[in-house]
Structure 1
């Protein structure tokens, strides 16, 4: 009898435990399905919302930077156009000035305007009172020459040959810039008439005055020489 009672009690206790476990499991499942899962979904939703807001803000900032960049590019392009137009005007004005200067480049005595002194037959020492010492270069190689640099002008330098004892100038050479076009032949012909052309090389001759002659060598070296003098390459036609 006692053994039967004990078995009955054990069965009941076991059943109660099983029922209790089932209830607990059911409660856990209910809690997980009705509270934990929705909370997790809510957390994920909020996190996604934050990410979306950050993404939208970042995109807005990027768009603002792009807009500012485009505005800067436009201003830069407008400035470049203005600079280009200004440069074109400067080039045009310089060409006009150059044409005016060329039209009045020479005096009637064959010397360029502004460089009529000293001339062939004058004392080379006149240069000391006409130019700054830094622009006058006296030759120290045994040749009696002196060169004058011209910072701005159609001619970039003038060279004078002179006699060692008398210091009288025997020849003057004006060197035009390398970029000079073949304009000197026409300009000198306007005051001296058609030239005589050498049988050798691009050399032209005009009679200046008092037995002196002017020679244009290679279209950029204008030389006025004393009586009886001529360039080494000159050959009578």
Structure 2
């Protein structure tokens, strides 16, 4: 795409006015353009930064968000954990340069329209308990209030797409949940299934108790000498 075709194109709050000449541009890292921000300031910016979404304003956007979005403590939201969670969620769903985009936006995972505003996300999701992170209950579903929760690493591990689900007594459980529910070691259940037992028998068959071997006492050194 020719660089001149970007003249007049808008990127966030910035509108490209013209391509910088060699005399005006002392940088050696690509083409630079003059952009006018919605706040009225004109800045010189690298064109690639606009195209990849790294720059969206002259800096006023961040200042405005710090003023608009504040946490319960009164600090700017961009200083808080929940804002960073929201920003990460939006990035992996809509920013094609995000390393996690293929597993989210690339798979068609979206963020509900309401949550495109941070204040709505914060109001719906609530405070983040220590040791948790954002988790989608249905790993194939979107980010939306009824499908999201704060979850511990253990819960998230069991909720991975790669987990195989077993249906037993009307419930769908992961392998680890089955073992925990029926108080059976994972290695024991895995061995039984590998030997061809069906799931019901493998779960219900009594676990053989290991016999404890007691060491024999050596009385040889304690034999009493029979008196003559």
User: In which range does the TM-score fall when normalised by the shorter chain?
Assistant: under 0.3
Between 1 and 2, higher relative CO (CA 8 Å, sep ≥ 6) is seen in: 1
Greater C-alpha radius of gyration: 1
